[in-house]
Amino acid sequence: MRGERLGASAWFARVWFFQRSGLSARAYCAAQGISYSTFMGWRSRLVRELAGGRLPFRRFVR
């Protein structure tokens, strides 16, 4: 996925799947082939923005 730009909804989905994976964040990122630092940055951003109600996500259904 190197060089691919993903939006907030895609990162929200990744965080959602991570939380259900049972893996550590580092292990999840390695398994998915994504940058740990980028993942953690998005995870922090989503937590902040969702807490403030600024991201209009549709309900994510598995």
| 4 or 1, greater pLDDT | 4
Alpha carbon of residue 9 to chain centroid: 8
pLDDT digits (tens, 9 = 90+) for 5-34: 778 888 999 999 999 999 999 999 999 999
What is the C-alpha separation between 40 and 29, in angstroms, rounded? 10
Q: Does residue 47 surpass a pLDDT of 80?
A: yes
What is the C-alpha separation between 17 and 30, in angstroms, rounded? 14
Sign of the Cα pseudo-torsion (40, 42, 43, 49, in order): positive
So where are the chain's domains? 22-62
Instruction: State the pLDDT confidence band at 51, using cuts at 50, 70 and 90.
Output: confident
